[in-house]
Amino acid sequence: MEILLPLAEAGDREAQYFVGYLYDYSIVFSDRCEATKWYDRAARQGYPPAQYVLAFAYLGDSGVYADAEKAYRWALAASRNGVEAATEWLNLGLFSDALSTAEREAIDRDMET
């Protein structure tokens, strides 16, 4: 953490992802909300693994509130950036119960611009 945190604070997206990972899975630093904050920073910089993890977080299993629209947006971003697991989620219709077809299509159009 002492090596990664200064890099993450300086804006390195990979370091941000791994700081999030440490907060998510480390016994010493365990804090899922803090992990989500760091994943969010990396995801907003286009880091695909962080986009995927953030999509999963917004499904409601990470200590942050569930938000199907945010989960779908991040899964779509991760899929478009080559994360196969995110593509599988989308192909399996994981979001079909949480969002209508019209809502998903609107998000798709919004993210194309």
Structural contact between residues 8 and 23, judged by C-beta atoms closer than 8 angstroms = no
pLDDT-based confidence at residue 27 (cuts at 50, 70, 90)? confident
Domain that holds residue 32: 4-112
pLDDT-based confidence at residue 93 (cuts at 50, 70, 90)? confident
Which CATH number goes with the domain that contains 97?
A: 1.25.40.10
pTM to 2 decimal places: 0.87
Number of domains within the chain: 1
Residue 50 φ then ψ, to 5°: -70, -35
Q: Which two tokens stand for residue 13?
A: 């997206």
45-74 pLDDT, tens per residue?
A: 999 999 999 998 888 766 678 899 999 999
Residues 19 and 22: their CA atoms lie apart, in Å, by 5
Is residue 42 classed as helix, strand or coil in its secondary structure?
helix
Contacts of 76 (CB under 8 A, 6+ apart): 86, 90, 107, 108, 111
Structural contact between residues 91 and 75, judged by C-beta atoms closer than 8 angstroms = no
Q: Which two tokens stand for residue 95?
A: 């979001």
What average pLDDT does the chain have?
91
Q: Rounded to an integer, what is the distance from CA 64 to the centroid of its chain?
A: 12
Percent of the chain with pLDDT over 90: 65
